[in-house]
């Protein structure tokens, strides 16, 4: 790991390395939301809430209690997953847009909470977090998460989750425990969101509630939708594009967000199901395979 | 104290209600959360500001002007960002398109007007009078009156006119309405126009009342109004009015009696509680799911 780290910092410009590391973190987070929204079809627009819980938990544990880095990563992800469970519960009774506003509300409440949270530095945020997140660590975790996602989505559980997205009542009639799986999808999404948040906190030195506002949630949702709902290569591509794009648009500094907004509209008009809509990893390996998954409606 | 807070809450709530109506009307017909709606409200506030400062008109004219401009803008946004997507894609892609339109509009306004907060000039004598223990400002009276008039007008239009009838038909079943010879695209354009006009009126009045207009004011107002629409039961017009007023009153009460630093959290906390107890909102209809 050390060797890889030395080798990579030796050959890649620090600026590009930074973008690559942030891309890795975004891929982890996007794969998390992909399980909740892309695969299971539970529209979550508050993923930044989970990220901020993971980031703050791990940063506070590092700074105030001096826990080892890997343990704070796990703790951040676990606490986020716990909140995923709590948010997943009302999700059982709510659908589509009602769920969307509940998740938005959840993320806003989390943001306001950290704005007033003394150990989190209130509006100023937390600074001086040691930079522990390295290229090799992000690489290893990203590979693990991709592998885990792939295994999950091709398992019985993953297929049952796709079934819930396509038609919940039919899925239930087939004997799928929809309650269980919907909550599970939230827990998994939140876990990866928290993990990404924790990695982010230990890379950026500094976090504040503004890092995890509504626009951040939207950015993650865009990664999943742009790449293609329910598709692992899609989420990876979406996260990569939306990490690089703002950097490329820096040339046109002030007009950056203007282009970004316009691009979203144009992309949706021409590729409404995302760039790689419902293409799975094994579709890339076996291109002749018939596609059986239809576009998501919820 | 209580009555004063109630009045402040009703004033805030009626502006939420005006914006929420746009969300709920659009949602009722095309099942789309129009995230650009908050930006239309922001543009309305800016158009009003320009009219008042540059052309020196009075508040009423500024409001009508802002409503007219926003009507066009609302229809334009629908044409460009939503219509090409209709009927051929999942429900998430129009949502992303709406978010894109929202980012585009707020950034465009930030480029044109700058990110600083602008203030309305003293266009009218903002006097206040006491009514028992309650201090009532003239702007509060104007907000309550104009909102009430607009909402009554909307109810009349939806219930009594031809286009209103067409809207109700479309919200029941878009395909069946089209088969009955209703020009669905035109009805949708009308819906966007009316919703945008109401939001613009809200924008101008909020701009004057709080004396602050800035390019990103639409995001939080839009989210709150959407929360209000969901609270009342999305798709229901009386629901949006009730939801807006409830949310406004509860938010002001929360600020007054609990804590002002949790202002934004209170509205969403209430919403989540209500939805857990009553998932379809206060006045929403429970739709049974069918395969």
CB spacing of B90 vs A93 below 8 angstroms: no
Best to test chain B binding among A105, A215, A293 (most B CBs inside 10 Å) = A105
User: Which parts of B50-186 are beta strand (E)?
Assistant: 128-131, 134-137
Contact B264 A113 (CB under 8 A): no
Residue keyed to tokens 């999808």: A185
Q: Which of B108, B223, B269 shows the shortest C-beta gap to A104?
A: B223
Contacts of residue A40 in chain B, CB cutoff 8 Å?
none
- Token pair belonging to B183: 């020009």
> Do the chains contact at B97 and A113, CB–CB below 8 Å?
no
> pLDDT band at residue B42, thresholds of 50, 70 and 90?
very high
Cα(B93)–Cα(B107) distance, integer angstroms: 21
> What confidence score (pLDDT) does residue B92 get?
75
Contacts of A298 in chain B (CB under 8 A): 91
Reply yes or no on whether the pLDDT at B72 is more than 50: yes
Tell me what the mean pLDDT of segment B105-124 comes to. Answer: 82
- The Cα A217–Cα A169 span in angstroms is 29
ipTM of the prediction? 0.79
- At A53, the pLDDT band (50, 70, 90 cuts) reads very high
**Mean pLDDT over the full length of chain A:** 83
Q: Which of B 228-257 lie inside 8 A of A, CB atoms?
A: 230, 234
Query: Which has more pLDDT, A243 or B114?
Result: A243
The rounded percent of chain A whose pLDDT value lies above 70 is: 91
pLDDT for B126: 66
pLDDT level of residue A284 (50, 70, 90 thresholds): low
Chain B contacts of A173, Cβ < 8 Å? 291
Most confident by average pLDDT, A149-158, B88-97, B208-217: A149-158
Residues of B in contact with A218 (CB under 8 A): 99
DSSP 8-state code for residue B137: E
> Per the domain annotation, does A6 fall within a domain?
yes
DSSP lists the bridge partners of residue B118 as B213
| Confidence (pLDDT) at A298 | 44
Please count the residues of chain A.
298
Q: What is the pLDDT of residue A283?
A: 57
A199 to chain B, minimum CA–CA distance in Å?
Answer: 27
* A13 within some domain: yes
Best A97, A210, A214 member to test B by mutation, with max B CBs in 10 Å, is A97
Cα dist from B95 to B102, B119, B172, whole Å: 10, 32, 21
Report the chain A residue with the minimal C-alpha distance to residue B111.
A254
| Partners of A280 in the β-ladder | none
For A198-227, what is each residue's pLDDT tens digit? 999 988 888 888 888 888 898 898 888 888
Give chain A's end-to-end CA distance (angstroms, integer). Answer: 43
Distance linking the first and last C-alpha atoms of chain B? 53
Q: Pick from B100, B277, B279 the residue to mutate for testing the A interface (most A CBs within 10 Å).
A: B100
Residue spans of alpha helices (H) in A155-177 = 156-166, 168-173
For residue B280, list chain A residues with Cβ-Cβ distance below 8 A.
98
A192 is a domain residue: yes
How close, in Å, is residue A226 to chain B by CA atoms? Answer: 9
Q: What token pair was written down for A144?
A: 């693990």
Domain count, chain A: 1
pLDDT digits (tens, 9 = 90+) for A72-108: 889 999 999 999 998 888 767 777 777 888 888 889 8
Tell me the residue range of the domain where A175 lies.
2-212
Mean pLDDT of all residues in B122-146: 77
Q: Answer yes or no: is A225 within a domain.
A: no
Share of chain B above pLDDT 70, in %: 95
Whether the full predicted model's pTM is greater than 0.95, yes or no, is no
Query: Which residues are bridge partners to A126 per DSSP?
Result: A207
Rounded distance between C-alpha atoms, residue B90 and residue A294, angstroms: 10
| The pLDDT of residue B66 is above 80 | yes
Residue A273 belongs to a domain: no
| Contact with chain A for residue B114, Cβ under 8 A | no
- Nearest chain A alpha carbon to B259: A116
What mean pLDDT is reported for chain B?
84
In a domain, A49, yes or no: yes
**Which residue in A261, A296, A297 is closest to B100 by CB distance?**
A261
- DSSP label at A296? P
Q: A229, B92 in Cβ contact below 8 A? A: yes
Q: Let me know if residue A80 belongs to a domain.
A: yes
Mean pLDDT of B160-164: 89
Instruction: Mark out the alpha helices in chain A (DSSP H runs).
Output: 2-11, 14-33, 47-60, 69-91, 96-115, 135-154, 156-166, 168-173, 178-204, 214-227, 232-248, 256-270, 281-285
Return the residue matching tokens 């989210």.
B223
Beta-carbon separation of B107 and A261 below 8 A:
yes
With a cut of 80, say whether residue A294 has pLDDT above it: no
Residue A94 lies inside a defined structural domain of this protein: yes
Interchain CB distance below 8 Å, B275 and A272: no
A261 contacts on B by Cβ (under 8 Å): 100-105, 107
Mean pLDDT on B126-132 = 74
């Amino acid at each position: 790991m050390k060797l890889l780290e030395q080798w990579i910092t030796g050959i890649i410009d620090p600026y590009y390395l930074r973008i690559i590391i942030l891309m890795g973190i975004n891929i982890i987070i996007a794969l998390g939301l992909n399980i909740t929204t892309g695969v299971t079809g539970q529209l979550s627009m508050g993923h930044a809430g989970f990220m901020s819980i993971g980031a703050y938990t791990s940063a506070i544990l590092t700074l105030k209690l001096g826990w080892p880095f890997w343990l704070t990563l796990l703790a951040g992800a676990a606490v986020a997953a716990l909140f995923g469970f709590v948010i997943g519960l009302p999700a059982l009774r709510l659908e589509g847009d009602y769920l969307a506003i509940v998740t938005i509300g959840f993320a806003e409440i989390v943001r306001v909470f950290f704005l007033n949270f003394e150990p989190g530095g209130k509006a100023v945020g937390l600074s001086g977090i040691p930079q522990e997140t390295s290229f090799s660590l992000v690489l290893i975790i990203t590979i693990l998460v991709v592998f885990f996602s792939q295994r999950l989505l091709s398992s019985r559980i993953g297929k049952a989750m796709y079934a819930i997205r396509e038609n919940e009542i039919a899925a239930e009639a087939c004997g799928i425990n929809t309650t269980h799986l919907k909550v599970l999808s939230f827990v998994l999404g939140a876990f990866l969101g928290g993990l990404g948040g924790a990695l982010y906190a230990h890379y950026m030195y500094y976090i504040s509630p503004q890092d995890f506002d509504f626009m951040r949630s939207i950015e993650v949702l865009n990664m999943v939708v742009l790449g293609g709902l329910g598709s692992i290569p899609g989420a990876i591509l979406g996260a990569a594009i939306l990490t690089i794009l703002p950097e490329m648009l820096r040339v046109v500094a002030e007009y950056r967000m203007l282009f970004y907004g316009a691009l979203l509209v144009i992309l949706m008009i021409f590729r409404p199901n995302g760039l790689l809509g419902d293409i799975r990893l094994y579709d890339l390996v076996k291109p002749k395979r018939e596609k059986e998954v239809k576009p998501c409606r919820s | 104290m209580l009555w004063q807070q109630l009045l402040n809450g009703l004033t805030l709530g009626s502006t939420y209600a005006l914006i929420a109506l746009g969300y709920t009307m659009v949602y009722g017909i095309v099942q789309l959360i129009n995230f650009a709606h908050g930006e239309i409200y922001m543009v309305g506030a800016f158009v009003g500001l320009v009219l008042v400062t540059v052309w020196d008109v009075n508040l009423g004219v500024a409001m009508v002007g802002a409503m007219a401009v926003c009507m066009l803008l609302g229809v334009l946004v629908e044409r460009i960002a939503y219509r090409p997507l209709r009927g051929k894609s999942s429900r998430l892609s129009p949502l992303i398109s709406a978010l894109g339109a929202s980012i585009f509009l707020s950034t465009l306004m930030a480029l044109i007007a700058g990110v600083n907060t602008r203030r309305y000039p003293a266009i009218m004598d903002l006097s206040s009078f006491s009514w028992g223990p309650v201090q009532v400002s003239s702007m509060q009276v104007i907000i309550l009156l104009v909102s009430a008039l607009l909402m009554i007008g909307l109810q009349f239009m939806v219930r009594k006119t031809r286009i209103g009838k067409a809207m109700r038909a479309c919200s029941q079943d878009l395909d069946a309405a089209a088969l009955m010879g209703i020009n669905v695209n035109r009805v949708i354009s009308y819906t966007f126009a009316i919703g945008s006009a109401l939001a613009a009126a809200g924008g101008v009045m909020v701009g004057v009342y709080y004396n602050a207009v800035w390019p990103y004011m639409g995001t939080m107002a839009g989210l709150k109004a959407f929360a209000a629409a969901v609270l009342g039961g999305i798709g229901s017009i009386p629901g949006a009015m009730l939801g807006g007023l409830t949310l406004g009153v509860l938010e002001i009460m929360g600020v007054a009696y609990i804590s002002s630093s949790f202002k934004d959290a209170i509205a969403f906390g209430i919403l989540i509680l209500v939805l857990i107890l009553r998932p379809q909102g206060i006045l929403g209809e429970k739709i049974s799911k069918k395969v």
